[in-house]
Amino acid sequence: MQNFDFYAPARILFGKGTENQVGELLKPHAKKVLLHYGGGSIKKSGLYGAVTASLSGAGVAYAELGGVQPNPRLSLVREGIALCRREGADLILAVGGGSVIDSAKAIAMGVYCDGDVWDVYENGTPVERALPVATVLTIPAAGSESSGDTVITNEEKQLKYGYGSPKLRPLLSVINPELFFTLPKEQLGFGVADIMSHVFERYFTNTTHTDLTDSLCEAVLKTVIKNAPLALADMKNYDAWCEIGFGGTVAHNGLVGMGRAQDWACHTMEHELSAIYDVAHGVGLAVLTPAWMRYVYKDNIQMFLQFAVNVMGVPGGYRDPETVILEGIDRLSAFFRRLGLPATLSDLGIGGDKLELMAKKATGEAFGDEAPIGGLKKLVWQDVLAIYQSAAG
């Protein structure tokens, strides 16, 4: 196990009706908040009314900015920064999913940036200050409600970059799994693929003596695998959503990755798909993850054997390890298909013409500073291209 430093201060208020407490919870922290949301689902579901009533009831003033799109855009972030400065907002309340929360975090640090906030994403300059962010989560997926990360799309440059800082961990997040009932069924699959990937990026490692975090990772994966079909069969299954919602937060608040080298190749490869083709993040991960596994498993047979047996329930015993592993990966692909997720890039209407460009962008080769990606196996652009090609279908 490696040395680590774990600090995840986001307060999580979990359960039925918790969104109605948001005004009282924010009152000690803010006089005026920027209420930030997406394309309108919160107005249809009634959540907008509940949150604004709670703010007004507690005497917390608000300005608002809706319109965040999945794969949140830099242009709206810039608008939000200007609005916050004009209105003197002292906290940003994100009501929505990962896209809304990430946009809120970008605005929160952009308010204190002298230059363009995009420079932070491009150069990774440490952020000294950011406004506090609070969230009301409406989809279990990205884990942004407890992470210090934000991922933004620069639509002009067709780049999607992430940035992480302890300053961006939300102050508090409200998670009422009843708010997930209105999700379109396809979003359930997108979210589950993302949650599982957040665990995979930490689970698949060459670090040894990681028994505790191995078990935590496996617990999150098995919980989600068990409960996702239950929620899909009945989108109002509160108990199943509780398990997925809690799993999504635990998957990405950092805990399950402590003491282990991490991977993140699948996320890096997926961001290229989202940046160019605007596909949902979870969809891209569902297509790329099995392809990545088939490409790298030989570099750590023991880890992938453990995954196949402990997580995917493949009988192990004295069988040939590679047979067991490949059956485990097939079972994962079948699980994604059961959730309605596509299996190949061609299912997404993505052809082969930009695969090389994406591989070179993902590894920095396109910008003249190649740095291999991944942890379990270091991947150069030719490896990434091979993975894209094997996912092409």
What minimum distance in Å lies between the beta carbon of 10 and ligand NZQ?
Answer: 11
**Of 18, 138, 306, 333, which lies in the binding site for ligand NZQ, with binding defined by CB under 6 A?**
138
Residue whose CB is less far from ligand NZQ, 199 or 308: 199
Tokens representing 60 are: 């917390």
Tracing tokens 């942890």 back to the chain, one arrives at: 375
What minimum distance in Å lies between the beta carbon of 73 and ligand NZQ?
Answer: 10
Burial 146-183 (b: 16+ CB within 10 A, else e): bbbbbbbbbbeeebbbbbebebbbbbbbbbbbbbbebb
Q: What is the CA radius of gyration of the chain?
A: 20
Binding site for Zn ion (CB under 5 A): 194
What minimum distance in Å lies between the beta carbon of 193 and Zn ion?
Answer: 9
What minimum distance in Å lies between the beta carbon of 36 and ligand NZQ?
Answer: 11
What minimum distance in Å lies between the beta carbon of 151 and Zn ion?
Answer: 8
Out of Zn ion, ligand NZQ, none, what residue 336 binds, judged by CB under 5 to 8 A for its kind, is: none
Q: Give the contact letters, 76-115, x = binds to ligand NZQ (CB under 6 A), - = no.
A: --------------------xxxxx-x-------------
Out of Zn ion, ligand NZQ, none, what residue 177 binds, judged by CB under 5 to 8 A for its kind, is: none
Region from 18-26, 38-46, 346-354, 360-368 binding ligand NZQ, contact rule CB under 6 A: 38-46
Out of ligand NZQ, Zn ion, none, what residue 158 binds, judged by CB under 5 to 8 A for its kind, is: none
Tokens representing 320 are: 């040939």
* Host H or E run for residue 153: strand 149-154
CA 333 to chain centre: 20
Q: Give the contact letters, 163-192, x = binds to ligand NZQ (CB under 6 A), - = no.
A: ----------------xx-xx---x--xx-
133, 105 in Cβ contact below 8 A? yes
Question: Is 384 in a helix, a strand, or coil?
Answer: helix
Out of Zn ion, ligand NZQ, none, what residue 342 binds, judged by CB under 5 to 8 A for its kind, is: none
Taking the C-alpha atoms of residue 241 and residue 228, their distance in angstroms, rounded to an integer, is 8
What minimum distance in Å lies between the beta carbon of 183 and ligand NZQ?
Answer: 5
The size of the interface with ligand NZQ (CB under 6 A), counted in residues, is 37
Residue whose CB is less far from Zn ion, 252 or 360: 252
Pairing of strands 133-137, 172-175: parallel
Burial 290-308 (b: 16+ CB within 10 A, else e): bbbbbbbbeebeebbbbbb
Out of ligand NZQ, Zn ion, none, what residue 41 binds, judged by CB under 5 to 8 A for its kind, is: ligand NZQ
**Of 80, 130, 149, 250, which lies in the binding site for ligand NZQ, with binding defined by CB under 6 A?**
149
Taking the C-alpha atoms of residue 1 and residue 207, their distance in angstroms, rounded to an integer, is 6
Taking the C-alpha atoms of residue 76 and residue 84, their distance in angstroms, rounded to an integer, is 12
| Ordered alpha helix ranges (H), 339-373 | 355-362
Tell me if 247 contacts ligand NZQ by CB under 6 A. no
Residue whose CB is less far from Zn ion, 194 or 214: 194
Out of ligand NZQ, Zn ion, none, what residue 99 binds, judged by CB under 5 to 8 A for its kind, is: ligand NZQ
Residue whose CB is less far from Zn ion, 102 or 194: 194
**Of 139, 244, 283, 287, which lies in the binding site for ligand NZQ, with binding defined by CB under 6 A?**
139
Taking the C-alpha atoms of residue 318 and residue 338, their distance in angstroms, rounded to an integer, is 30
**Contacts for 175 with CB less than 8 Å, ≥ 6 apart:** 12, 13, 14, 15, 18, 137, 140, 145, 245, 246, 249
Q: Which residues bind ligand NZQ (CB under 6 A)?
A: 38-42, 45, 70-72, 96-100, 102, 138-139, 141-144, 147, 149-151, 179-180, 182-183, 187, 190-191, 194, 252, 267, 281-282
